[in-house]
Structure 1
Amino acid sequence: MNNEARLNCGINMPVLGLGTYSYPNDRQTTELAIDMALKMGYRHFDTAKIYGSEPAVGHALTEAILDQTVDREGIFVTSKLWGSDHHDPVSALRQTLKCIGVSNFSSKKIQSLLDFASVPPAVNQVEMHPMWRQRKLRDFCADCKIHVSAYSPLGGPGNAWGTTAVVENPIIQSISRKHKTTPAQVALQWGLSNGSSMIVKSFNQKRLKENMEALNVKLDAQDLTDIEKLEEWKIMRGEFLVNDSTSPYKTIEDLWDGEI
């Protein structure tokens, strides 16, 4: 399969990215994981100011570039700013920023943005996995030529807020046995098969390799049909963003514009 997605800004983005969120955040562990990932062929790295991993990502990639392990043009970095970090970055970003994107936007929020924005977002990064498939949003983004990128494509196992329900689902496990692969690879290939990119976090060498090999897994039409029958439920519901006093969102339904 094609290991890159062509974005509406004219840039190619690797469809398998390494997520770098971890709690507690340990810089040395993150840098070692990035070094391992680079040697395995990872070229897309996802970070955010709120993760606290930007310094580790920057240092690890700089070292790899100086060591000529990889050239800068071959690296794609996704980062994210929280809503409190508004400033005037234009002069600096004219030199470095290639594409802009959004995260956790519903179809309604994207349409509101498109109604006035002169530059459309290239990517919408959202929770997506076989048990939260985002069909409506994916179709809307496809019509708008906005690429969908999935965080928590395995359901976030290993995180305090995550679940093993995706990789332990009997249908996912049955498909993995059928193809002599792993449940994680099935979940990742499901997302890749629908044209999305996968941001998956692991600092474990074996799982880093396993996730990269998901690019070579082939699912058939029956597999995809069976996955479409899975009951859906969203893991990251965002309850902490909803209240009656300081938030514009009074209910979970308001927050996600009914797409939940």
Structure 2
Amino acid sequence: MDGCLEASLSPLSIPEYVLASLYGTEQPLGDAILEAIAVGLIKSRDELFITSKLWCSDAHGELVLPALQRSLKNLRLEYLDLYLIHWPVSSKPGIYEFPIKREDFLAMDFKAVWKAMEDCQRLGLTKSIGVSNFSCKKLGDILAFTKIPPAVNQVELNPLWQQKKLREFCKANGILLTAYAPLGAQGTIWGSNRVLECELLKEIAKQKGKTVAQICLRWAYEQGIGILVKSFNKDRMKSNLEIFNWSLSQEDVKKINDIPQSRLCSGQDYISKYGPFNTTQELWDGEI
């Protein structure tokens, strides 16, 4: 079995897998789940929490259900735990690519796409539905007509991009906010090490005898935010889970809250004069 998979299914880990049709990770994970059951690492698929995302080229009302069915076929599963709209924009159908060609961007028909997402949940193909990279305004637009509200909004969130307005909005509307890049997403195209290299966070970590990563994860946990951390290193997994038997002081939290804010993931790849968003201001509705 692949060492990365074995590490991720160890007792030290929280077995949640966040996929997307674009990533090309669905079929390998499907193979791995079957093998994990066969060798006894897990007893059944029900021990796992599996999320996948609807890519922009499938973000059309009539294409949502077929896209989810393809994902399930790739995964060899009967259902997902969570299905998310990846970005609040559509693109030319049938073309899976990133970056998306500027001329291929299209405005999303939110009503049609969300209705199709609701149908997927009603059919039992996913336990919950949600969104990713949605602003307060775009969430409000969906909430105005939805019958099944989004369960989750997955966004960039960390001490250097705290999303205070979005956190308040989601809390008021019963939407769980989950954080990608809680440590800054170093190693990705758009990520950096500036979260882990933040001097204030280093200072707090030193005072508490913790790592900077633990300070970041504990801060998010105390804010009621779901945390998505990518790691296949067993020691790092263990360290990431050691955040539950201590807490940040009020002074620590105040210092973190006062950190100057800036977004890492600008969303520039989704800006086009041919599409619905001509500027990042329009994409995020001023939440930048």
TM-score by length of 2: 0.75
Name whichever of 160-169 and 82-91 sits farther off: 82-91
CA distance, structure 1, for counterparts of residue 3 and residue 50 of structure 2: 17
Matches within 5 A, 1:59-208: 59-70=31-42, 71-85=44-58, 86=60, 87=63, 89=65, 93=120, 94-208=123-237
Q: Which amino acid aligns with 2:175?
A: I
The amino acid across from 1:221 in the alignment is Q
Could you tell me how far apart the structure 2 residues matched to 1:129 and 1:240 are?
Answer: 21
SS at match of 2:54: coil
Q: CA deviation at 1:59?
A: 2.1
SS class of match (1:84): helix
CA distance in 2, matches of 1:51, 1:205: 23
Give the letter for the 2:206 counterpart.
R
Deviations 1:96-152 (A, max 9, x none): 310001000000000100111111010000000000001100100001100000001
One-letter amino acid matched to 1:238: G
- 1:88 deviates by 5.1
Mapped partners of 2:187, 2:237: distance in 1: 14
Matched, 1:234 2:263: yes
**1:24 match:** none
- Once residues 78 and 54 of structure 1 are traced to their aligned partners in structure 2, the CA distance between those partners, rounded to angstroms, is 10
State the Cα distance separating 1:73 from its structure 2 match.
Answer: 2.0
Q: Confirm or deny: 8 A CA contact 1:243 1:249 kept in the other structure.
A: yes
Q: How many percent identity over aligned positions?
A: 38
Q: Does structure 2 retain, via aligned residues, the 8 Å contact 1:35–1:60?
A: no
Consecutive unaligned residues of structure 1, counting only runs of 5 or more, are: 1-27
Is it true that 1:247 corresponds to 2:219 in the alignment? no
> Per the alignment, do residues 37 and 241 of structure 1 end up closer, same or farther by CA in structure 2, a change over 3 Å counting?
same
Structure with bigger RCO (C-alpha 8 Å, 6+ apart): 1
Distance 2:241 2:31 in 1: 23
User: Which amino acid counterpart does residue 96 of structure 1 have in structure 2?
Assistant: L
Aligned positions, number = 230
Larger Rg: 2
Could you list the runs of 4 or more consecutive aligned residues of structure 1 that deviate by over 4 angstroms after TM superposition?
Answer: 90-93
- TM normalised by structure 1 equals 0.82
Which residue does 1:19 correspond to in 2?
none
8 Å CA contact retained: 2:54, 2:64: no
Shift of 1:194: 0.5
**What is aligned with 1:50?**
22
Structure 1 CA distance, aligned partners of 2:153 and 2:160? 19
Aligned-CA RMSD value? 1.9
> Which has the higher mean CA deviation after the structures are superposed, 208-217 or 33-42?
208-217
